[in-house]
Amino acid sequence: MTTYTRKVNYHETDKMGITHHSNYIKFMEEARVDALEKLGMPFEKVEEEGIGSPIVSLTIDYKSPTKFSDVINVDVRVISYNGIKLEFSYTMTDAKTGTLVATAQSSHCFIKDGRIYSFRRDKNPMDALIQQALEADTAKAE
């Protein structure tokens, strides 16, 4: 698990001063890219290899609103991986109060040259990095 910390910007709030719900998806993406970089898989490197990672599914449960200048911690965990599909969970909390802001999950597949891509089948070294993250996150969750 990695933690990404993010301050809510003014332009990310609505007329009522509350963080617009769509921004949490952006926070998740920032946290996921940060987690992959910490894992040794900077997204630039993945894309240089011609590999894309579209979202297959996404769920978010909003628990408590945030507003401008609130700082959010986004905890990211790898919860499932089979070489082709990678799933993350996210727990977002207010950094100051610890209040649960949102929980979420996202599933991603990999594509290369317009086809489904398997890190495992291709013996890509990134397969081992993701597998290690899954094992570490699974062990922490138990």
Residue listed under structure tokens 């969970």: 89
Helices (H) and strands (E) in the chain, counts: 3, 8
Neighbours of 136 (CB within 10 A): 14
For residue 142, pLDDT over 80 is answered with no
pTM of the model: 0.92
For residue 139, pLDDT over 80 is answered with yes
**pLDDT (0 to 100) of residue 12:** 97
Instruction: Give the model confidence (pLDDT) of 4-56 as tens digits.
Output: 999 999 999 999 999 999 999 999 999 999 999 999 899 899 999 999 999 99
| Sequence-ordered alpha helix ranges (H) in 8-98 | 23-39, 43-48
